[in-house]
Each structure stands twice: as C-alpha cells, then as structure tokens.
Amino acid sequence: MRTNWGNIYAVLRREFLDRVRKKSFLVSTLITPVVFGGLMILPGLLSVMQTGKPTQVLVVDRTGWAGPAVVAASPAARPAGNSLESKAEESAMNAATLKMAPAGEDLEAIKRDIGDGKVDGALFLEGDGKAELKATYFGQNISNPQLFQLLDSRLNVALVEHRLDKLGLDRAIADKLKGRVEVEPVKVEKGGKTRKGSIMDFVVPIALALVIYMMILMYGTAIMNGVLEEKNSKVVEVIISAVRPFELMMGKIVGIASVGLLQYGIWFMAGAAVFMANPMNFQSHMDGSPVKLLQLVLLVLYFLLGFIFYSSLYAAIGAACTSQQETQQWQMPIAFGLIIPFMLMMPTLMTPNASWVVALSLFPVTSPITMLLRVGAVEVPLWQIGASLGLLALGTVGVAWAAARVYRVGILMTGKRPSIPEILRWIKQ
C-alpha cells in the first residue's frame, strides 16, 4: 500500500487541534515569554541595578599618598553609552563607598571587626622597594566582582595620577590624559559591506540555537508521551487497523511540530509588535538588524528537519516503552545530541571556523544547533550550509525509517520491555 497522505493529514489535524485547543497551550504561550524574558533580562537588570546597599570599605594607608588619592579618585567612565556593558560598569562604580580609616587604626583590630561583621571590608595599601603600591582587600565577602572592578579602577586612576604628579604635570593636563578609548566592533559582511556591531550580534545566534533546543526537547517529549498514551489506551489498535504505522507516526510528528511553529510564530509576532510599538528600541536594536532573512529561512529548515529527526527517535522510544519511567534511560542519550553542541556554544562562537566546529555543523545529530550558531557569528560558505542540510535530510530520512519500524512493532507490544538486540531486530525485519 502506498502512503496515504489523507490519513497523515487526518492524524496531523487531530493532533494539532487537540493540542492547540487545550488550556495548557494558551497558558504556556502566555507564560513562557514572561518567564523567559525574566530569565534573560533579570540577571542583566540585577547587574545594572543597585542591589542592596554599597559595601563600606575602610582604607588603611601605609604609603602616605595612596589612601586619600584612592578615596578621591573619580574614574573616567567610558564614553557615556547606552549599552549593557556601560550600564553595568556604571553600576559597579556605585558598588562601594570608600572611607579613610581613622589614623593609627590597627589592622588587626579592623580584621577582628570585619570578622564580627561590624565593618564590611578594608583596603590595605602599602608600598615597598619593589612596587610603588601594593593593595590588599580584607573582607567577609570576597566574591563580589563589582567591588573589585571598582577598587581596581580607582586604584589605577590614583596610581596614574600619582605618577603624573611625580613628573610634575599640571593637573588640568593630567585630567585630559585620563580619557579612555574603546574598540568599536564593526561587522564586515559579504562584499565588504560593514555594519556597526551590537550586543544583538551575540544574542541572535544564541537565541536561534535556544529556540531549536527548547522546541525539540519540549515537543519531542510531548510526542513520546502521546505515543505512550495511545499505546496504553489501546486506541492505537483501532487507528492501526485504518492507517499504516508510518502514517500515524508522521501525522503525529508534523501535527505537533505545527503546534510548535504556531506557538513560536505567535511569540515572534508579539515580539516584533513590541519592538515596532517602541520606536526607540526598534531603532537602537534593529537598525542594520543582525537577523538576516537567510537566518530565518535556515531556522525554519533546521527546525523542521531537526524536529523530525529527533521526534522520530522520541516516537520510537514511546513505542518501545510501556511507562514514563522506562523512557528515562532512553531519553538521556538522545538529549545529549542537543546538549553537547549547546555546552560548546562559547568555543563555537569564538572560533566558528575551527575544523571541529565545522564538523559538528555538518554532522546531522549536532548540526541544527551548531550551524545556527555559526551562521549567526560568521559568513558560512554556502557549500557547507548545503552539505549540512543535505546530510541532515539524509539522516532524517534514515532515522525516520528506522524509527517507523521500531514504532510499527513497538506500539502493539505490551508487557515486558524490549532489549536493544530485540529493537535492532525490529528494525531489520
């Protein structure tokens, strides 16, 4: 019998409507962006915002010049910017207040006070023959990076000023010398076209990979549980008497993938609407948008192929097992295919053309995530994209074929759990 597309459509339609009409779909569509937005923005927000009161630091000076200089130093901020980095720096500069310790204060006594929690911390300054200035910080909490950013910055300003004074330079001239410079990242695209870099260059590839990762994990598991449910309720017998197992599996996978696409479509549109409604944001973030049409096309292609690839595996697991507990041990190795390229995200973005990265972006198991990361970071040669998609398509057909065979036998099996050799036999027969 040939594949009956009408049957696939009927199954697809049922799966789609069944899930979209559920309250949980509405809830997850509404809640997820809130939670995710929170997860993505909160740490940034917290690092920007003043969290709690500034650390009180006593400065104990044994050099005779450095103490007052450090307390008085106002670091020249980078050119006022709106970027996340400059906001974070600004907030770091307010992380602590510095105060000179009363003259003749004993360091040991201060340490005792710190230990008892009466004083937050102390900056001990001394100079010796080797170094002009040696600084030590004593504190109960030495894991606040903002504090050290602030202390470093002030100490170095004080030190530079001290050296300038020793050279006998006018303070007015000295102030002019303190201005900082910063590298401006400019992205060069095909044909030498350039575009100002922004934080989006970093965020977009990660976001694309994250979308795929989340979708496959969420909806792949949904497929597995759906298969398990059908199998345990025996409804599968009635279905299989009317459609071929392959048609049932494909209808299910594509139906649930459509639910996922719809959900992401809603989020995408909502996100776009929010940006549009706020011209300021839209201007600053979307000008020369780093999201290219190619990326969106690839996102959809990699999503569809990767989704079918992984979902087939999940469907086969659902068919081969009889309970949720049983599925656990099979899920892990599959999830690794997604987790590994995700864990390698940073090195992938730093060296997007390293040979191992190229290999991962071609290998069907890891290619959906790794290739999207690469495409976001650099211009990937078209032949690599083509080869990656081609290999993924081949792999998907192969996996779907094998999974359909496991599925065909598994969905009608009840009772004991099949062993791996048994499953291999199902594939071969």
In whole angstroms, the minimum distance from the beta carbon of 9 to other proteins comes to 8
Say how far apart CA 310 and CA 227 lie, in whole Å. Answer: 14
| CA distances, 280 to each of 160, 268, 284, 390 (Å) | 39, 19, 6, 41
Q: Could you give the string, one character per residue 90-119, with x where binding to other proteins holds by CB under 8 A and - elsewhere?
A: ------------------------------
Q: In terms of CB distance, is 242 or 273 closer to other proteins?
A: 242
Helices (H), 234-292: 235-240, 245-277, 279-286
Cα angle: 19, vertex 25, 29; to 5 degrees: 145
DSSP labels, 96-135: EEEEEPPTT--HHHHHHHHHHTSSSEEEEEE--SS-S-EE
In whole angstroms, the minimum distance from the beta carbon of 1 to other proteins comes to 7
Q: Does 134 bind other proteins (CB under 8 A)?
A: no
Among 52-60, 227-235, 270-278, 290-298, the segment contacting other proteins (CB under 8 A): 227-235
In whole angstroms, the minimum distance from the beta carbon of 308 to other proteins comes to 22
Q: Does 234 bind other proteins (CB under 8 A)?
A: yes
Pairing of strands 96-100, 121-126: unpaired
The correct pick among 40, 48, 240, 391 for binding other proteins (CB under 8 A) is 240
Q: In terms of CB distance, is 12 or 66 closer to other proteins?
A: 12
CB 190 within 8 A of CB 379: yes
Q: In terms of CB distance, is 14 or 187 closer to other proteins?
A: 14
Q: Does 77 bind other proteins (CB under 8 A)?
A: no
| CA distances, 127 to each of 17, 173, 180, 188, 259 (Å) | 75, 26, 27, 48, 67
In whole angstroms, the minimum distance from the beta carbon of 234 to other proteins comes to 4
The correct pick among 24, 82, 241, 355 for binding other proteins (CB under 8 A) is 241
Q: In terms of CB distance, is 60 or 239 closer to other proteins?
A: 239
3-class secondary-structure state, position 40: helix
Q: Does 422 bind other proteins (CB under 8 A)?
A: no
Q: In terms of CB distance, is 102 or 415 closer to other proteins?
A: 415
CB 258 within 8 A of CB 266: no
In whole angstroms, the minimum distance from the beta carbon of 4 to other proteins comes to 8
Among 5-13, 146-154, 289-297, 315-323, the segment contacting other proteins (CB under 8 A): 5-13
**Binding residues with other proteins: total (CB under 8 A):** 19
Q: Could you give the string, one character per residue 243-282, with x where binding to other proteins holds by CB under 8 A and - elsewhere?
A: x---------------------------------------
Q: Does 20 bind other proteins (CB under 8 A)?
A: no
Q: Does 392 bind other proteins (CB under 8 A)?
A: no
Tokens of 96: 């602590």
| CA distances, 52 to each of 47, 49, 407 (Å) | 11, 9, 56
3-class secondary-structure state, position 13: helix
Q: How many CB atoms lie within 10 A of CB 160?
A: 15
Contact residues: other proteins, CB under 8 A:
1, 6-7, 10-11, 14, 17-18, 233-235, 237-243, 412
